[in-house]
Amino acid sequence: MLDDQLKQQLSSYLQLLQQPVVFTLDAGDSANGTKVRDFLNEVAALSPKLSIAEGHLKRQPSFTLDAQGAAPSGITFAGIPLGHEFESFVLALLQVSGHAPKISEKVRQQIEAIDQDLHFETFASLSCHNCPDVVQALDIMSLLNPRITHTMIEGGMFQDEAEANDIMAVPTVFLNGEEWHNGRATLEQLVNKAQGKAALAAVNDDVSDKLYDVLIVGGGPAAGSAAVYAARKGLSTAVVADHIGGQPLETVGIENLIGTDYIEGEQLMQNIRAQMTKYHVTLIDGQTVTGLTEGSPVQVQLKGDTTLQGRTVIIATGAHWRNIGVPGEAEYKNKGVAYCPHCDGPLYKGKNVAVIGGGNSGVEAAIDLAGIAKHVSVLEFGPKISADAVLVAKAQSLDNVDLITNAQTTSIKGDGRVNGLTYTDRATGDSKSLSVDGVFVQIGLVPNTSWLSDCLDMDKQGEIIVNEKGATSLANVFAAGDCTNSAYKQIIISMGSGATAALGAFDALAREVTVKA
Q: What are the residue ranges of helices labelled H in 201-264? A: 205-208, 221-232
> Is residue 218 annotated as involved in ligand binding?
yes
> Is residue 228 annotated as involved in ligand binding?
yes
> Is residue 481 annotated as involved in ligand binding?
yes
> Is residue 472 annotated as involved in ligand binding?
yes
DSSP state of 455: S
174-182 CB contacts, 8 Å cutoff, 24+ apart: 174/120, 174/121, 174/122, 174/123, 175/118, 175/119, 175/120, 176/117, 176/118, 176/119, 177/119, 180/120, 181/134, 182/334
Q: How many CA atoms lie within 13 A of 254 on its CB side?
A: 20
CA–CA separation, 368 vs 217, rounded Å?
Answer: 32
> Is residue 352 annotated as involved in ligand binding?
no
> Is residue 477 annotated as involved in ligand binding?
yes
> Is residue 501 annotated as involved in ligand binding?
no
> Is residue 474 annotated as involved in ligand binding?
yes
Backbone angles phi, psi at 178, to 5 degrees: -115, 140
Q: Is 344 noted as a catalytic residue in this protein? A: yes
CA–CA separation, 259 vs 183, rounded Å?
Answer: 33
Contact between residue 64 and residue 51 where contact means Cβ atoms under 8 Å apart: no
CA–CA separation, 509 vs 517, rounded Å?
Answer: 21
> Is residue 231 annotated as involved in ligand binding?
no
Active-site pick, 26, 343, 368, 483: 343
CA angle 79–339–427, rounded 5-degree value: 130
> Is residue 361 annotated as involved in ligand binding?
no
User: How far out from the chain centre does Cα 443 lie?
Assistant: 19
Q: Name the amino acid, one letter, at 129.
A: H
> Is residue 346 annotated as involved in ligand binding?
no
408: Cβ–Cβ under 8 A, 6 or more apart, which residues? Answer: 381, 423, 424, 426
> Is residue 227 annotated as involved in ligand binding?
yes
> Is residue 164 annotated as involved in ligand binding?
no
> Is residue 57 annotated as involved in ligand binding?
no
> Is residue 248 annotated as involved in ligand binding?
no
Active-site pick, 344, 368, 437, 483: 344
Q: Is 128 noted as a catalytic residue in this protein? A: no
Active-site pick, 340, 368, 437, 483: 340
CA–CA separation, 499 vs 101, rounded Å?
Answer: 35
CA–CA separation, 122 vs 421, rounded Å?
Answer: 29
> Is residue 223 annotated as involved in ligand binding?
yes
Q: Is 340 noted as a catalytic residue in this protein? A: yes
> Is residue 410 annotated as involved in ligand binding?
no
Question: Which residue positions form the known binding site?
Answer: 213-228, 472-482
Q: Provide the annotated active-site residues.
A: 340, 343-344
Question: Which residue positions form the known binding site for FAD?
Answer: 213-228, 472-482
